[in-house]
């Protein structure tokens, strides 16, 4: 759209580069969260940022690069505000680390204020994934997946195979995401449910207790099979 205009952009004064870039990130975050990547236009973003229509190309290269920067920044802000470990040390009990992980995840996707768009952006990205998702998975989501898998493995015990760990991890995350992705339905079925900080605390307790009950059941099953079948562990690795 504005590629042909790049050469006409005058050099940006040193003192203006940072603020203009930040204004573009802020405006783009709002527009992308509201209408999604494909429907968003560079012109609408620049108008909201109070910037020249060629500013996106000057500071980011193109709309795709701007979108990737917005996603990365939203993840950074959300993780900085609500870290997955909630400040717990690595040696904390696995049950406590699971509770912290669940609550922080809920807080990130239901957060209000400046970090609210993180949940909106990621929800849209799940529906209509873009090329930017690869970078977010690599830099943000995979490390969190590894963290959760380590917690799940600690709760299941050493005999748990990788497939069980993976499926149990996905089940925990699925419970969390349900409340965000299906919020329009939840609100219609149960209008009294509001995702206030207090409700998020109660929801984190429920998801943690529900998950721990299932994980303890899996762990007990594994222990029984291991006692009854000496080859269970080696067989499980190939399931």
pLDDT in tens, 185-235: 999 999 998 899 999 999 999 999 999 999 999 887 766 655 556 554 444
pTM reported for the whole predicted model: 0.81
Q: What pLDDT score was predicted for residue 2?
A: 38
Tokens of 18: 């940072």
Last residue in a domain, options 38, 61, 84 = 61
Total structural domains within the chain: 2
Same domain, 190 and 227: yes
Same structural domain for residues 77 and 39? no
Contact by Cβ (8 Å): 70, 32: yes
Q: Is 66 a member of any domain?
A: no
pLDDT band (50, 70, 90) for residue 8: very low
Host domain of residue 49: 3-61
pLDDT of residue 16: 47
Residues 41 and 110 in one domain: no
Distance CA 68, CA 72 (A): 6
Stretch 37-58: mean pLDDT: 94
Q: Above 50 in pLDDT, residue 236? A: no
pLDDT at position 226: 59
Residues 110 and 172 in one domain: yes
Q: For residue 116, what pLDDT is reported?
A: 73
Average pLDDT over residues 93-112: 94
Q: How far is CA 224 from CA 47, 153, 154, 217, 228, in A?
A: 64, 17, 17, 11, 6
Within this chain, do residues 87 and 21 fall inside the same structural domain, yes or no? no
Q: What is the DSSP string of 33-77?
A: HHH-TTT--HHHHHHHHT--TTHHHHHTSSHHHHHHHHHHHHHHH
In this structure, the answer to whether residues 184 and 90 fall within a common structural domain is yes
Nearest to 33 by CA among 67, 7, 78, 4: 67
Q: Is residue 25, in this structure, part of any structural domain at all?
A: yes
**Tens-digit pLDDT profile for residues 146-157:** 999 999 999 999
The answer to whether residue 68 sits within a structural domain is no
């Amino acid at each position: 759209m504005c590629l042909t205009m790049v050469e006409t952009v005058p050099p940006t004064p040193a003192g203006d580069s940072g603020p203009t870039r930040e204004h573009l990130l802020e405006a783009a975050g709002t527009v992308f969260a509201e209408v999604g990547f494909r429907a968003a236009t560079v012109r609408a973003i620049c108008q909201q940022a109070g910037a020249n229509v060629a500013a996106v190309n000057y500071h980011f290269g193109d709309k795709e690069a701007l979108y990737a920067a917005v996603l990365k920044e939203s993840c950074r802000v959300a993780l900085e505000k609500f870290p997955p470990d909630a400040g717990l040390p690595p040696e904390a009990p696995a049950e406590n680390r699971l509770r912290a992980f669940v609550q922080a995840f809920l807080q990130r996707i239901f957060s209000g204020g400046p970090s609210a768009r993180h949940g909106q952006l990621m929800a849209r990205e799940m529906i209509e994934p873009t090329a930017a998702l690869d970078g977010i998975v690599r830099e943000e989501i995979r490390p969190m997946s590894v963290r959760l898998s380590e917690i799940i493995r600690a709760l299941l015990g050493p005999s748990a195979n990788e497939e069980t760990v993976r499926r149990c991890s996905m089940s925990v995350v699925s419970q969390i995401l349900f409340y965000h992705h299906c919020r329009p339905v939840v609100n219609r079925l149960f209008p009294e449910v509001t995702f206030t900080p207090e409700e998020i605390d109660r929801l984190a307790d429920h998801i943690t207790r529900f998950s721990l009950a299932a994980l303890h059941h899996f762990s007990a099953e594994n222990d029984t099979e291991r006692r009854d079948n000496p080859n269970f562990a080696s067989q499980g690795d190939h399931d």
